[in-house]
Amino acid sequence: MARLALKKTGLDPDRDVVMIAAGTGDIRLAALMSTAVDAAVLNAPGKFKAKKAGLNEVLFMGEQVDALSGGVATTIGLIQTRPETVQRFVTASVKGLKYFLSNRQGSIPFMMKTMNVDIEMAREVYDMSLPTFTEGGTAGDDFMKNEVQLQTGVLGLKEVSRFDQPFDMSFALKANQRLKNWNPQQRSG
């Protein structure tokens, strides 16, 4: 993604920058803070920790490259042998997504705990990330086609697979159908 984002800004990632694999977000942030590197790709909350430390964001990749940044993945074998388990898991994930999207006040304490950040940073991460989610956890055909092409290039594959092969939205669609009358604000069910 970084290479594509740099290309979109007019830089040649092979000539204009030296890229190194620096590990996890915490390691990349530490390298940036220690000036071992001049720039680093940071996700939340690292992005906000860097900002709090006085560093500047020079490029928001989300504005340059529309790419997958999360989701539920499993094997074809599990889908074929235990589809009911997959469905329950996806339904629970969609419930969590719907709760997150509709309940900032309830989501922020959970984010503070799981991300080990203060309330101010949790609020910033929530507000920044909210537009990146889809309402029902599904992606459209154009997005899936673009993602398959992007990953084909990243992986150096010669042939682009059909976009419906790596993506199966049927479980999320069924979950949304089951949850159409579910209220994310209620505590039970």
Q: Across 15-29, 95-109, 144-158, which has the greatest mean pLDDT?
A: 95-109
Provide the pLDDT for residue 67.
67
Domain termination site, one of 11, 44, 64? 64
Provide the pLDDT for residue 164.
67
Mean pLDDT of 29-57: 89
Which band of pLDDT confidence, cut at 50, 70 and 90, is reported for residue 171? very high
Task: Assess whether 57 and 92 both reside in one domain.
Answer: no
Which band of pLDDT confidence, cut at 50, 70 and 90, is reported for residue 27? very high
User: Is 189 a residue whose pLDDT tops 60?
Assistant: no
- DSSP class per residue in the chain: -HHHHHHHTT--TTTT-------SHHHHHHHHHTTSSS-----TTHHHHHHHTT------HHHH-----------HHHHHH-HHHHHHHHHHHHHHHHHHHH-HHHHHHHHHHHHT--HHHHHHHHHHHGGGS-TTS---HHHHHHHHHHHHHHHT-SSPPPTTTT---HHHHHHHHHTTT--TTSS--
The more confident residue out of 91 and 135 is 91
* Mean of pLDDT over the chain: 86
Provide the pLDDT for residue 187.
58
Domain that holds residue 87: 76-105+133-178
Structural domains counted in the chain: 2
Whether residue 185 is contained in a domain is answered as no
